[in-house]
Chains A and B, each alone.
Chain A
Amino acid sequence: MSLPARVATLVVAFLAVVAGVIYVVFGLIGQKPAVEDFRPYAANGSVDVTMMTAPQTTVSNKPDWVSYFIKNPSTGQFDHTTYFEVPPDTTVHMTIYGYDGCTPLRNPLWGHVMGVTGNAESVQIYNGKTLSAPQSVSTFDSWSNCSVQHTFAIPGLGINVPIASPPTVAENNALCTVSPCVGTSAASGGAPHSVATFSFKTPSTTGTYRWQCFIPCGGGFLDGNGGPMGTPGYMMGQMEVYA
């Protein structure tokens, strides 16, 4: 091979490696889900945030992964993301629709509501029973009842809220199959689900607070901890507190 040909080959190979590194760093590792900005919608020191858990993510290239969705405050649509922005020193009124089935907690401590207003959440499905009206509860027993599907936890703020699961076996076997679970169809928004509401105060200092689910719900992965449990945009995300 001639010298110019060897030089050209070397340059092309070098550029290919650089391009590969750039693609991996920025295209894969650095990829960040969309961020729902709730700051413009805050009023009188509070803001409403609505989220959803779904047993699968049919809108993504990982359709069998469980995932959280966040309701876009502008469009009213549930977007496939777990990143949201809220203002500091503001009370977040959170509503979470739980469309997934039950999974026992690895650590029963996470069945305890912590770090939110009154250390309690309001639910109508509680410990395997459907209540006549929403009640304020503080502790779930996921080892005796098929009662919890996921948790919403912000460890940096000491927040942990278990999300109730549909109470019966039949309901757990008839979950939403198209995500996000919206509308009235029995296969989607009309599928069995719980609703949890609670409030918490964002810190007065700005910053990023990661949140996660404490149930190892990554089915098909070692100990249930991989896949959606370890991928931003599924069962973990960030609450970004900015003015």
Chain B
Amino acid sequence: MAADAPSAPTAGPIPVRDRRDARWLLIIWIVLSVIGCLLVALVWGPHLPPGRGSSSAASQQVDFTVLGTMATPVVIGVLLYFGWALTFWRKPKGDETDATPLHGNTRIQATWIIGTSALVLALFVYGTIQLIVPAGAGSGEGPNPIWKPAGTTTSSLTSWTPGTSNILQVQVIGQQWAWTFRYPQFGGFETTQLVLPVNEPVQFNVTSLDVIHSFWAIQLGVKADANPDLNNVAYTTPQQIGSFEVRCAELCGIWHGSMYTTGQVVSDANFMAWTKKTAIQLADVTKLLPPYALTYDPTTIPAGKINQELGLTSAGGGYYNPADPVQP
């Protein structure tokens, strides 16, 4: 009976062949990792989205490049080990013997735990810095933003001049299914066009008139949810003259996929000319808009109340409030 019992595994010296394989794996991994990291950082990185169209986009591209570069040795290591195992460690036909038993190795375990912990903590610090330094990295910070672009103020909400510390205010309004943009510092006109000056910090005040949308200016690296009755602030500084896409990034109804437009980044002079021309073109409707506010409550539409008081029973008959009726 005792002779049939399996023998307990015993630790022994690592075979010469395994040590040779490990040495070659390490050399090849280091060489490929250096090449891969250089390619990712220097060749691929500058082409990673969202590009360098704005301060926040540029910082996001750097982040993607850093993360991509850090991930490269890991990916190469996994694929190399996988390929090596398939190629050189195949079991010969007819070989029925067991594999070499594995045992704990304190040095390897400690290296793994310390190494991965250091990596995660470094990424945490790096990520936090990359969120704070570029003033929220183009994401919505809610109604009371903590991180603001350095050197900017909101000294005037009714006027704006290029090259001053007074930050440009642009209100983004989502409605099923279109974006509109309001410029309070230029008389408060509202338009379907989003035009921004280059190299000027911008404060987006994002809100919605109905359901939740998400304002995503792709090449600017700006993304902020548009919530009804809430102002969501995001910052960026456009750095390149040209166009950028704006999409809704929150499923908002049947035409969600069509809720997009194209924005323009132009020179200061062209921006000022555009605001002047647009303010004149939209003067008739601007005076009908509600006073500029950070959010709008459609239930306070005066005509809606008037119509209801008049007893209109048509299909219109006034504003349909959120409880008309409550849907299951």
Residues of A within 8 A of B (CB): 55-56, 66, 100-104, 106-109, 111-112, 114, 138-139, 141-146, 149, 153, 155-156, 158, 165, 169, 172-173, 175, 210, 212, 214-226, 229-232, 236
Contact = CB atoms under 8 A, between A and B. Distances in A.
Given A109-B289, A146-B303, A103 B192 contact: no
B176 A229 contact: yes
Interface string B192-203: 100000000000
A112 B284 contact: yes
Contact of A104 (B253, B301, B326): B301
B324 A224 contact: yes
A212 B177 contact: yes
Contacts of B77: none
A103 B177 CA distance: 18
B184 to A, nearest CB: 14
A173 B311 contact: yes
B315 A56 contact: yes
Contact of B324 (A100, A138, A172, A219): A219
Interface string B266-282: 00000000000000001
A214 to B, nearest CB: 7
A225 B311 CA distance: 22
Given A106-B319, A218-B320, 18 more contacts: A66-B315, A100-B315, A101-B317, A106-B210, A107-B175, A108-B285, A109-B180, A109-B190, A139-B288, A145-B303, A155-B261, A156-B258, A172-B312, A214-B178, A216-B319, A219-B324, A221-B320, A236-B255
Nearest to A141: B288
B100 interface: no
A220 B324 CA distance: 5
A73 B74 CA distance: 65
B316 A108 contact: no
Contacts of A175: 314-315
A231 B306 CA distance: 29
A109 B179 CA distance: 12
A223 B297 CA distance: 12
Contacts of B211: 223, 225
Contact of B320 (A141, A153, A224): A224
Task: Report which residue of A109, A111, A169 has the largest number of chain B beta carbons within 10 angstroms of its beta carbon.
Answer: A109
Contacts of B311: 169, 173
Contacts of A101: 312, 314-317
A107 B180 contact: yes
Given A100-B315, A172-B312, A146 B306 contact: yes
Contacts of A222: 322, 326-327
Interface of B: 173, 175-178, 180, 190-192, 209-211, 253-255, 258, 261, 282, 284-285, 288-290, 298, 301-304, 306-307, 310-322, 324-327
Contacts of B191: 109
Nearest to B178: A155
A2 to B, nearest CB: 43
27 contacts: A55-B314, A100-B315, A104-B303, A104-B307, A106-B301, A107-B175, A108-B285, A109-B190, A111-B288, A139-B288, A149-B316, A153-B178, A156-B258, A158-B192, A165-B316, A169-B310, A172-B314, A172-B316, A173-B311, A175-B314, A212-B255, A215-B316, A216-B319, A219-B320, A220-B324, A221-B327, A224-B319
B273 to A, nearest CB: 19
A142 to B, nearest CB: 6
Nearest to A64: B315
A144 B307 CA distance: 10
B319 A103 contact: yes
A181 to B, nearest CB: 12
Given A142-B303, A221-B327, A225-B176, A102 B316 contact: yes
B288 A108 contact: yes
B188 to A, nearest CB: 11
A103 to B, nearest CB: 3
A222 B299 CA distance: 13
A146 B304 CA distance: 9
B312 A108 contact: no
A218 to B, nearest CB: 7
A104 B318 contact: yes
Given A108-B288, A138-B284, A226-B327, A173 B314 contact: yes
Contact of A143 (B175, B301, B325): B301
Contact of A139 (B190, B285, B290, B303): B285
> 10 shortest A-B CB distances, which residue pairs?
A101-B314, A103-B316, A224-B320, A104-B303, A55-B315, A112-B285, A139-B284, A101-B316, A143-B303, A108-B288
A172 B307 CA distance: 10
A111 B284 CA distance: 10
Nearest to A153: B178
B175 A114 contact: no
Contact of B315 (A104, A139, A145, A219): A219
Contacts of A232: 254
Nearest to B326: A222
Contact of B253 (A102, A141, A219, A225): A225
